[in-house]
């Protein structure tokens, strides 16, 4: 059997280029963590080629600001980040896609001027890192693995409406040229196979990973005095927060000692949702915390009894894995990925998205709560979402592809 990458000599190290479709500080922190884990546990030289493309919605001053690319080298971690910028043209989504892909291809060409050709490209999401990876493969013959994260591929869900007609030929190019397609849950695969039915035998699932050394169980005394549900989400329509607030309000009004709901996150519906809470008369039971950093999120998890995810569609739900790593059970709606990773030992999934179903599930959860064991939940998270276990699966796939590439 071939020896694992982790035991290779330094001279035998493989070089992997990671292309993220988005990257910090504009989301995508899990792409950075994945790249760092590839370098750490796979003992690979990893270069990230990222392109930010801010638009006017990020602020006119930021849009007008002159951009300067940067290279961040972390030799001790085997990771280099090359981050550049591209100004988004208003009302020109297709043109912006083409410009972004062309810039990534140009970044890759510059990378080759000072580095050997990589063994493989890891594309994070088809839109549009996968399309850039397909162009790189066409020009330089470098194979790529495409990992899909976007919830819009959850078949039969509202997310399908986010796939425009002009997307489809680009998506076909991105998926059809990949050496292998990974999805973070099975729920994405039917939607992808509508685009590339021929790739059914070159597709598998590797769930997202989380930093289980950071997300750990808290002390019991950290819990709030009142039973606490926590929702961590962008305040956007597809996160199902209207349904959650109405379901929770019905539950709270039916109980003498009502629980509390904490909502962490920001978004375009912030004002509307706060008004809704006031109109329902549950301002004392529902608290909005706004956007929080990773440490503050962990503190809230420690203080809470359960995480609630009410999304209309969800490819995976990284926050679910983070909660489980903290030993926190989860209540979710049937939105795609969540029902694949929530087990009877780790939480509950409602029968549907409607208010009555979610309210009944929250109530049932409170009654069943003493039966959940945080150590059991934590052990499940370590096995399913631990960084080392996840990267080992990626490395096995990379080795297979690299060894079969001429």
- All domains of the chain in start order, with CATH: 5-209+386-404 (3.40.50.2000), 220-384 (3.40.50.2000)
Q: How many CA atoms lie within 13 A of 364 on its CB side?
A: 15
- CA-CA-CA-CA torsion sign (63, 65, 98, 196): negative
Q: Which of 38, 32, 33 is nearest to 15 (CA)?
A: 38
**Strand 70-74 to 79-85 pairing:** antiparallel
Please give the C-alpha separations between residue 346 and each of 31, 91, 243, 307, in angstroms, as whole numbers. 26, 44, 22, 11
CA 1 to chain CA centroid, Å, is 33
CA 56 to chain CA centroid, Å, is 24
CA distance 291 to 308: 17
Task: Look up the pTM and report it.
Answer: 0.89
Helix (H) or strand (E) holding 327: none
Q: Which of 296, 309, 331, 334 is nearest to 154 (CA)?
A: 334
pLDDT tens track, the chain, 406 positions: 333 444 334 445 789 999 999 999 888 999 999 999 999 888 789 999 999 998 877 677 766 766 667 888 877 677 999 999 998 999 999 999 999 999 999 999 999 999 999 999 999 999 999 999 999 999 999 999 999 999 889 866 566 677 899 999 999 999 999 999 999 999 999 999 999 999 999 999 999 999 999 999 998 878 889 999 999 999 999 999 999 999 999 999 999 899 999 999 999 999 999 999 999 999 999 999 999 999 999 999 999 999 999 999 999 999 999 999 999 999 999 999 999 999 999 999 999 999 999 999 999 999 999 999 999 999 999 999 999 999 999 999 999 999 998 8
- DSSP label at 77? G
* 260-264 β-sheet, strand order: 286-290, 260-264, 228-232, 306-309, 330-332, 347-349
153 has which bridge partners?
A: none
Given its phi and psi angles, is residue 55 left (phi above 0), alpha (psi -120 to 50 degrees) or beta? beta
- CA-CA-CA-CA torsion sign (27, 113, 394, 376): negative
CA distance 176 to 197: 9
């Amino acid at each position: 059997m071939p020896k694992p990458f982790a035991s290779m000599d330094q001279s035998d190290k493989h070089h992997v280029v990671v292309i993220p479709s988005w990257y910090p500080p504009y989301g995508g922190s899990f792409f950075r963590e994945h790249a760092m884990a590839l370098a750490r546990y796979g003992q690979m030289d990893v270069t990230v080629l990222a392109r930010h493309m801010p638009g006017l919605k990020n602020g006119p001053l930021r849009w007008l600001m002159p951009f300067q690319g940067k290279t961040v080298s972390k030799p001790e971690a085997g990771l280099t980040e090359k981050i550049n910028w591209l100004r988004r043209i208003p009302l020109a989504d297709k043109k912006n896609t083409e410009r972004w892909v062309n810039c990534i291809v140009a970044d890759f060409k510059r990378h080759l001027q000072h580095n050997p050709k990589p063994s493989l490209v890891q594309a994070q999401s088809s839109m549009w890192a996968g399309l850039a990876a397909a162009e790189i493969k066409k020009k330089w013959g470098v194979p790529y693995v495409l990992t899909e994260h976007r919830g819009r591929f959850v078949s039969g869900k509202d997310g399908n409406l986010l796939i425009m007609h002009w997307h489809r030929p680009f998506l076909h190019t991105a998926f059809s040229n990949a050496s292998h397609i990974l999805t973070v849950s099975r729920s994405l695969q039917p939607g992808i196979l509508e685009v590339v039915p021929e790739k059914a035998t070159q597709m598998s699932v590797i769930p997202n990973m989380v930093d289980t050394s950071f997300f750990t169980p808290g002390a019991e005394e950290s819990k709030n005095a009142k039973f606490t549900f926590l929702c961590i989400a962008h305040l956007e329509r597809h996160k199902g927060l209207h349904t959650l607030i109405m379901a929770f309000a019905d539950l709270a009004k039916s109980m003498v000692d009502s629980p509390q709901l904490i909502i962490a996150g920001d978004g375009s519906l912030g004002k509307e949702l706060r008004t809704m809470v006031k109109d329902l008369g549950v301002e004392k039971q529902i608290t909005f915390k706004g956007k929080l950093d990773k440490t503050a999120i962990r503190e809230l998890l420690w203080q809470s009894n359960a995480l609630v995810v009410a999304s209309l569609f969800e490819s995976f739900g990284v926050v679910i894995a983070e909660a489980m790593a903290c030993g926190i059970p989860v209540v979710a709606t049937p939105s795609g990925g969540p029902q694949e990773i929530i087990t009877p030992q780790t939480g509950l999934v409602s029968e549907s998205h409607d208010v009555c179903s979610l309210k009944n599930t929250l109530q049932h959860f409170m009654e069943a709560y003493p039966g959940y064991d945080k150590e059991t939940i934590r052990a499940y998270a370590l096995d399913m979402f631990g960084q080392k276990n996840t990267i080992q699966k990626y490395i096995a796939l990379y080795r297979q592809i690299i060894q079969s590439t001429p």
